[in-house]
Amino acid sequence: MRDWLAVRRAATPDTLALLDATTDDRRTYADLDDAVEEVAGKLQALGVNAGDAVGVVMETRPAYVELLWAVQRLGATLVPFNARLTPAELIDQRTTIDPAVLVTDRDHEETAVDAGGRTPVVSVDEPTLAETRWLDATTPQTVESVGVSLSDTAAVLFTSGTTGEPTAIRVTARNVLASAVASAFRLGVVPDDRWLLCLPMYHMGGLSIPIRTMVYGTTTVLHGEFDPGPILRTLRERSITGVSLVPTMLERLLDAGPVDDSLRFALVGGGPTSAELAQRALAAGVPIHPTYGMTETASQITTATPRDVEAAPDSVGRPLVGTDLAILDGAGSRLDRGEQGEIAVSGWTVSPGPVSESSRRTDEWFRTGDVGYRDEKGRLYVTGRASELIVTGGENVVPGDVRAAILAHPAVEDAAVVGLTDAEWGERVGALVVTTEPVSKGTLRSFLEERLAGFKLPRTVAFADALPRTHSGTVDREVVRDQLREAER
């Protein structure tokens, strides 16, 4: 295929491609394509060739979107690193990838240089450190676009590291294109669409936004930092029609004030949206679309519509077109509707796998590691992760069930439920609980005894001001375990 941005420019050169809501910086597809051509020429002059990896350490900004397309124009692979990593963590990931260059900006230059090793570090801003080259000072070369092959690795993205170390996942051009098309069939596309990008581009949910609006010929509006007040203003003043959020962002938006009614969809995913939050959003007029997705499937697997939410507020809806779902038991056999097991996926959005492994077979189900079930209408419910399943005295406990019971207590704000190694029972249930006012362990226990079978009751309970989280904002279950063990001493 021809370079995607070149095709887009030929079709709609004057359409707004990018609008930075904070600086009012705007680019049409013709402007973006010109900028990308220049950046591609500069990267080439720095020695980037087809097949090379280009590492990026930045938060969301227009230059990030230029890099995305410049890297594709060169037939190279974009590798967005989590911009919040420490230099030591970044060294580990850089070593896994071995990029030809590391592109950064003023805010991340120090970390990039610290972690860069022998990799040249290039900044999109004027550098402050001697080790850094300035992209702007590089004289561009003429670029001969190599075109795009659907099996090319478009990007390598790291998973969030919720269950262990983050894994580097290959995402192909076919994966992102299939995802863009399938998403449009669920959400619809109209010519004046403006999709607000307030997520990091080093996670699939963020990176997919500028890719999709380019495929559709619509506009990405950037709002780098998430601050509910300014985001509400941007939604209103920039006539935003779509937005992608994680559940805590949605909660903070609803707390901050009314959401403008120009919004056609609010995709909410990355972690569980409680039925309560989904209903609250609907009541506030927010067209919420709870979504289940992951890095390994180039984002969305299932997306619920507001009508689904009305009928089943704790569901994540049905699979997107081109994605097939199965619920499997431990032996890999398909389970029936209503039965709980591991969620498995097949389709064009499924990645060929981590960079550390050879490509997976595409005729086999990809096992997500998540546990869930489907109702008679085919809607999916995600109940937790297979690795988080607690086996206590031979009984299986889904942490999500226990968490839901704890959250039902009016004074409980949040909770994390984990398995702790136990000499007698193999594992026992532990809960770290965040409350809005003091609650005694005894009161909580009596409350839970009415709702949970005896073997599901948390044996170890501790209270905290907030749950410990990973860089990606997911609950850091290892630290939860440590805190619970600490509390027992």
Please name the residue that has the structure tokens 């796998």.
Answer: 353
213 binds, among ligand ATP, Mg ion, none (CB under 5 to 8 A by kind): none
Give the interface segment with ligand ATP, choosing from 256-264, 290-298, 434-442, 456-464 (CB under 6 A): 290-298
Choosing from 123, 160, 299, 300, the residue that interacts with ligand ATP (CB under 6 A) is 160
Instruction: For ligand ATP, give the closer residue by CB, 314 or 427.
Output: 314
Instruction: For ligand ATP, give the closer residue by CB, 55 or 272.
Output: 272
The 3-state secondary structure of the chain reads CCCHHHHHHHHCCCCEEEEECCCCCEEEHHHHHHHHHHHHHHHHHCCCCCCCEEEEECCCCHHHHHHHHHHHHCCCEEEECCCCCCHHHHHHHHHHHCCCEEEECHHHHHHHHHHHCCCCEEECCCCCCCCEEEHHHCCCCCCCCCCCCCCCEEEEEECCCCCCCCCEEEEEHHHHHHHHHHHHHHHCCCCCCEEEECCCCCCHHHHHHHHHHHHHCCEEEECCCCCHHHHHHHHHHCCCCEEEECHHHHHHHHHHCCCCCCCCEEEECCCCCCHHHHHHHHHCCCCEEEEEEEHHHCEEEEECCHHHHHHCCCCCEEECCCEEEEEECCCCCECCCCCCEEEEEEECCCCCEECCCCCCCCCCCEEEEEEEEECCCCCEEEEEEHHHCEEECCEEECHHHHHHHHHCCCCEEEEEEEEEEECCCEEEEEEEEEECCCCCHHHHHHHHHCCCCHHHCCCEEEECCCCCECCCCCECHHHHHHHHHHHHC
Instruction: For ligand ATP, give the closer residue by CB, 6 or 304.
Output: 304
Asked whether position 274 contacts ligand ATP by CB under 6 A, the answer is: no
293 binds, among Mg ion, ligand ATP, none (CB under 5 to 8 A by kind): ligand ATP
Instruction: For ligand ATP, give the closer residue by CB, 162 or 435.
Output: 162
368 binds, among Mg ion, ligand ATP, none (CB under 5 to 8 A by kind): ligand ATP
Asked whether position 218 contacts ligand ATP by CB under 6 A, the answer is: no
Asked whether position 159 contacts ligand ATP by CB under 6 A, the answer is: yes
Residues 193-212 touching Mg ion, rule: CB under 5 A, are none
Give the interface segment with ligand ATP, choosing from 58-66, 162-170, 183-191, 280-288 (CB under 6 A): 162-170
Region at 257 (left for phi over 0; alpha for psi -120 to 50; beta for the rest): left
Instruction: For ligand ATP, give the closer residue by CB, 70 or 382.
Output: 382
Q: Which two tokens stand for residue 464?
A: 């905290």
Asked whether position 316 contacts ligand ATP by CB under 6 A, the answer is: yes
Instruction: For ligand ATP, give the closer residue by CB, 399 or 430.
Output: 399
Asked whether position 319 contacts ligand ATP by CB under 6 A, the answer is: no
Residues 364-383 touching ligand ATP, rule: CB under 6 A, are 368, 370, 382
Q: How far is the CB of 187 from ligand ATP (least distance, A)?
A: 16
Choosing from 41, 206, 224, 272, the residue that interacts with ligand ATP (CB under 6 A) is 272
Instruction: For ligand ATP, give the closer residue by CB, 169 or 457.
Output: 169
Choosing from 74, 221, 294, 480, the residue that interacts with ligand ATP (CB under 6 A) is 294
Instruction: For ligand ATP, give the closer residue by CB, 156 or 382.
Output: 382
The angle formed by the CA atoms of residues 298, 210 and 235, to the nearest 5 degrees, is 115
Choosing from 15, 82, 123, 159, the residue that interacts with Mg ion (CB under 5 A) is 159
Give the interface segment with ligand ATP, choosing from 42-50, 91-99, 153-161, 357-365 (CB under 6 A): 153-161
399 binds, among ligand ATP, Mg ion, none (CB under 5 to 8 A by kind): none
Choosing from 27, 212, 385, 471, the residue that interacts with ligand ATP (CB under 6 A) is 385
Q: Site residues (CB under 6 A) for ligand ATP? A: 159-164, 166-167, 203, 269-273, 290-295, 316, 368, 370, 382, 385, 474
Q: Site residues (CB under 5 A) for Mg ion? A: 159
